[in-house]
Amino acid sequence: MLKKKDKYNVAVMGATGAVGGEFLSILEERSFPIKELKLLASERSKGKHLKFKKNNYPVEVLTHKSFKGIDIVLSSAGAGRSLEFLPSAVKAGAVCVDNSSAYRMEKDVPLVVPEVNPNETYSHKGIIANPNCSTIQAVVVLGPLHKQAKIKRIVASTYQSVSGAGQKHILELEKQAETIEKTVDNWIVGHHSVDKFLIKQFPYQIAFNLIPQIDVFLENAYTKEEMKLVHETRKIIGDPSIRITCTSIRVPVFFAHSESINIETEKKLSADDARKILSKAPGIRVIDDPAKQKYPMPLNAEGKNEVFVGRIREDESVENGLNLWVVSDNLRKGAALNAIQIAELLIKHA
């Protein structure tokens, strides 16, 4: 368990990655009580320095000995490294908040979204799992509706930005878009395609395209990403009986994921009921005025901490159904911010 202190020694695993950068930005924004900061990454990042609060910090190579004296580990270095190194961090006395998929479905590891199930934080045995980005923004909205009306079924379609895949994927979209822009005056059918050498990170061109696959396909024909949302949502909400299906799509947007979510509830909720519930719920901003063409978009959410929800309307095809459109910055609330909020809960109750 975390001991009560005025300030804490914090290690960031995967410090040079996209989420690692958000960790540093949000830690500074929220004046997180840091005594000493240690930045950890792979051998490839050896010699790099990163800025935090106007100071340059060296990036150290991650080893099993990196955690001596560390109180809190914020990890976003991938599942393999989490499985390999976080047990060493726990053994050294640190509490770890892990942003990978490594421990999310482990029975004795809490999977936490602070707005939904904060009390689960305190049952940890050294590791707390941060949910998948698409799951986090969904449950922030679904949690308060479930409390009021008990959700029976969820149909989710996620439209996920390239930043969810990593920095190299951001650069690939940028390069492909730049290449197409140079030839825009000469467009004819097919000329909006890019040369194959510009397709490296994704299986297909992502610029001006949609790819209906995120992660690998499983035996049930769903992708691993889709099943993450199914299993994680049930665990966080605490109701294994909810029927959930999901389709995940990669879209040519740099930052912020969008989701079309349809729910069926036991108790009838009107669209106005849902707006009132969500307007009062923590971490949510409702933007829902169709007459004025006001609804959430990725550009609204980029760089913001809230989960945005709009297009709230009753599903006329079922008795107790609602449609919702949910948008959030996947690197902030979908990853780094949620993890830091978990760490803040640990400090508050130390």
Domains and CATH numbers, the chain: 8-130+335-348 (3.40.50.720), 135-165+214-330 (3.30.360.10)
Euclidean distance between CA atoms 25 and 45, whole angstroms: 19
Give the pLDDT of residue 73: 98
243-250 β-sheet, strand order: 243-250, 151-160, 257-265, 321-328, 307-314, 284-286
Tell me what pLDDT residue 180 has: 87
Enter the tokens of residue 271. Answer: 């669209």
pTM above 0.85, yes or no: yes
Q: Specify the pLDDT at position 182.
A: 78
The pair of three-digit structure tokens given for residue 9, joined into one six-digit string: 């020694």
Three-state DSSP state, 321? strand
Residue 329, amino acid:
D
The low-confidence residues of the chain, meaning pLDDT below 50, are: none
* Enclosing H/E stretch for 250: strand 243-250
Q: What is the pLDDT of residue 193?
A: 84
C-beta neighbour count of 210 within 10 angstroms: 11
What residues are annotated to the active site? 133, 257
Integer Cα distance of 68 and 60 in angstroms: 13
